[in-house]
Structure 1
Amino acid sequence: MAPRNLVLKFVLCMILLLPIQPALGQGQESFFEGKTIRIIVGAAPGGGFDTYARLISRRMGKHIPGNPTIIVDNMPGAGMMIAANHLYKVTKPDGLTIGHFTGSQTINQLVGQPGTEFDMRKFEYLGAPIADHFSCAFTRASGVTSADRWLASKKPVKMGGIGPGNLTDNTIRTLRWATRFPIQLVSGYKGTAPIRLAMEAGELDGSCWGWDSIKATWTKALESGEGIVVIQAAAKRHADLPKVPLAIDFGKDEEGRQLIDAVIHGGNIVERSYLLPPATPKDRVEILRRAFARTMEDPEFVADTNKAKLGLGPISGEELERRINGFFKLPQKLRARLKEILFG
């Protein structure tokens, strides 16, 4: 019995000497408690990016151990490249800063666009509230009330953009090259909210951006008939827009249709990414990923999005990461064409 007792005592001592491993989140509660998490939005206030971020900021904190406060800061400029560069180069990777800018910044990196100072493959992806469904909308005053009217226009229609690499610009530039729609891109706006104002003032005829953003922020124009969605720049028709044609059906050749699929359809999926700086501790990444996913299912958040007329179709951080990496598998020939079309 004595040897057995010695063994039991030895095992007990070893157990007592083992470090205590807290469950995921418990060890980080003291870190997040009393802290403020900042969401940096790469667009101006009032647009879809800003609206989603503010709704998320209201509800996500309670799903994070320590219940931190979450605020939103807008950092528009250069087609959201300023926000992307800031998150990559300046932000401390401690889990207290979340970026929200277009995943289509990947195209900037892919073709070597000057000013690109980040590697989209190194960010930590939390998720996205929805895959975007880009559509092109115009004012009735522009005269572009249908795809046929657009094709028949005697002069290029003025369409507002945000900057190189932004999906709004990428969509418009791709359509200008891949279809026969006459287009003049006027870029440099700080987001879709300023673009809408310019459309209403008659400075622009239209633009292309996410349908959920269009219906949430341009509601009165749509309901009055002063705003009209003419084509859908997406892989399939939205249930809200059953009679509006798809842009890919207007591709002038097979290469054009391939580019529409790669740039626009692929960009729709990663457009509304939420992400963390590279080298953020993995345990904090997992905590925030889980909190983001729980926020997407939170009844109060769902009610908020319904009230704001915003859609929901959450995408996981892992799926965003896979999609971003997929861009880098595009053939070199297609990359060269992208550089010519989007930045030439």
Structure 2
Amino acid sequence: MTNNITPRRNFLGMSVALATAAFILPVPAMADAVDFSGKTIEFVIPFGVGGGSDTWARFNAPFLSKHLPGQPTVVVKNQPGGGSITGASQFASRAKPDGLSILGTSGSTQFPYLLNDPRVKYDYKDWKVVLAAPTGGVAYISSSFGVKSLADLGKLKGERLVYGSQGATSLDLVPLLGFRLLGLDVQHVFGMKSRGEGRLAFERGEANIDYQTTSAYLKSSLPIVQEGKAVPLFSWGATDDDGKLIRDPNFPELPHIGEAIEMVTGKKPSGTEWEAFKSFLIAGFPAQKLLVLPKGTPDNIVEAYRAAVRKMKLDPEYQAAKVEALGGYEQLTDKAGESLFKEGTTIDPKARDWVRALLEKEYNARF
């Protein structure tokens, strides 16, 4: 499996014009031929019940049901195993291109693909993207260090930080590489079953640096900050239409990770390590969740799904609930979704080799 380099474009910070265009694109007549009346659609989530991907799928499923032609029943099927590799691989080999099977992937599905993990038996190039769902996140540190903001990070020189990690090749690869670029001495304690478990370790004092995705941060970590027990340092950021890293609109007061690195090191980040980090940052956050159809799916079925997404995004009920459910990030389809899909599933081979070598040498990862 070879991942080609693709020019970086837009994902989370899509322009209003582009987002609007996604709504007003005409639906081809061929989409009218699709009718799922009386059918049941299996929405495969290769993770357990209750996690972020499961929550995302269960929020979107009834709206897809409502707006797909024929209003089929959309049932979420959890198929955990292998950090999502098992369910995604089975989908690739078994799903029929009839529109009755869809798959929701996450950064945890993208990462082993980007790393050329031999366990991966799926190829994103075979799939048709229907929906791309960005997210963000905030890194924070224990207030016990006397750090008031990112500007005080120099106080941590000589300090050993502890981070509760789900694994070196999991979504926690982003903080692993990000903390390294910041020059922080961080011990990554592997074995956490979720980011929620990592947060609990932080609250118990077993870890002293952590990050949570936007929705989890606002719900569970912000209270810790407000109590004075934690200090937010930076967000993972967003991007504009040109692929430039910008501040997360949910946290405009916080520097994004690129700004953070420049503030701490005095230099704009660059080089192979930075390029490698950016690839996984994109796959893990701006392109974190992707809804795809299997190989060989006819164009009229793909368009029927994209039309349903356009309609559900305009649904008043969806509009009223999406901020709390999705963290305020725009769900993308059509050309915007395709652009994000490509960004989140490609990497420069040189950058990939650098990451693999680092993980094998310093974290005993095996591929």
TM-score (norm 1): 0.77
Q: Which residue of 2 aligns with 1:286?
A: 303
Cα shift at 1:329: 6.5
Map residues 94-133 of structure 1 onto 2, 5 A cutoff: 94-103=98-107, 105-129=109-133, 131-133=134-136
* Pairing 1:10-25 to 2, within 5 Å after superposition: 23-25=29-31
**Residue 237 (1) aligns with residue 240 (2):** no
Correspondence list, 1:274-313, <5 A: 274-308=291-325, 310-313=327-330
Letter in 1 for 2:73: T
Question: Quick one: structure 1 residues 265 and 112, their matched pair in 2 at CA, closer, same or farther if it must change by over 3 Å?
Answer: closer
- Residue 103 of structure 1 contacts residue 324 of structure 1 at CA under 8 Å; is this kept in 2? no
Contact 1:33 1:68 in 2 (8 A): yes
- What are the residue-to-residue correspondences of 1:42-53 with 2, within 5 Å? 42-53=46-57
Provide the residue aligned with 2:23 in structure 1: none
Q: Distance in 2 between matches of 1:159 and 1:88?
A: 34
Partner of 1:15: none
Alignment of 1:1-344 (within 5 A): 23-29=29-35, 32-103=36-107, 105-129=109-133, 131-138=134-141, 146-147=149-150, 148-149=152-153, 152=156, 154-163=158-167, 165-166=169-170, 168-216=171-219, 218=221, 220-221=223-224, 224-226=227-229, 228-234=231-237, 235-249=245-259, 250=261, 254-255=270-271, 256-265=273-282, 267-308=284-325, 310-326=327-343, 330-342=347-359, 344=361
Q: 1-side partners of 2:90 and 2:284: how far apart?
A: 21
Aligned residues of 1:132 and 1:271 also touching (Cα < 8 A): yes
- Alpha-carbon contact 1:38-1:71 (below 8 Å) kept: yes
- Relative distance call for 1:329 and 1:311 in structure 2 (3 A) is closer
How far apart, CA to CA, are the structure 2 residues paired with 1:76 and 1:206?
Answer: 28
What SS class does the counterpart of residue 273 from structure 1 fall into? strand
Shift, 1:300, TM fit: 0.4
Q: Return closer, same or farther for 1:222/1:294 CA change in 2, 3 Å cut-off.
A: farther
Extract unaligned runs of 5+ from structure 1.
1-21
The superposition leaves residues 225-252 of structure 1 with CA deviations (integer Å, 9 ceiling, x where unpaired) of: 5555322122222234233232223265
Residue identity (%): 24
Q: Choose 48-57 or 206-215, whichever is displaced more.
A: 206-215
Is the 1:37–1:69 Cα contact (8 Å) retained in structure 2?
A: yes
Shift of 1:218: 4.8
Deviations 1:96-143 (A, max 9, x none): 2222222564442343223111111111111124x2223224565798
Q: How far apart are the structure 1 equivalents of 2:176 and 2:84?
A: 17
Quote the Cα distance in structure 2 between the aligned partners of 1:181 and 1:137. Answer: 13
Give the 3 Å change call, closer, same or farther, for CA 161–45 of structure 1 in structure 2. Answer: farther
Residue of structure 2 equivalent to 1:3: none
The alpha carbon displacement at 1:221 in A equals 4.1
Task: Assess, with a 3 A threshold, how the Cα gap between structure 1 residues 240 and 327 changes in structure 2: closer, same or farther.
Answer: closer
Amino acid at match of 2:270: E
Residues 294-335 of structure 1, C-alpha deviations (whole Å, 9 max, x = no match) = 212211011112344721312225444344445776443223
Distance 2:329 2:344 in 1: 24
Amino acid at match of 1:121: K
Give the conservation status (yes or no) of the 8 Å contact 1:61–1:69.
yes
Which structure has the larger Rg over C-alpha atoms? 1
Deviations 1:147-166 (A, max 9, x none): 43586064543323344554
Secondary structure of 1:24's aligned partner: helix
More relative contact order in 1 or in 2 (CA 8 Å, sep 6+)? Answer: 2
Structure-1 separation of matches of 2:191 and 2:40:
32
Report if aligned partners of 2:282, 2:344 keep a CA contact under 8 Å in 1: no
Query: What's the RMSD between the two structures over aligned residues?
Result: 3.3
Q: CA deviation at 1:51?
A: 2.5
Counterpart secondary structure, 1:278: coil
What SS does the corresponding residue of 2:184 show, helix, strand or coil?
Answer: coil
TM-score, reference length from structure 2: 0.73
Tell me, in whole angstroms, the C-alpha distance in 2 between the residues paired with 1:97 and 1:150: 51
- Once residues 333 and 62 of structure 2 are traced to their aligned partners in structure 1, the CA distance between those partners, rounded to angstroms, is 20
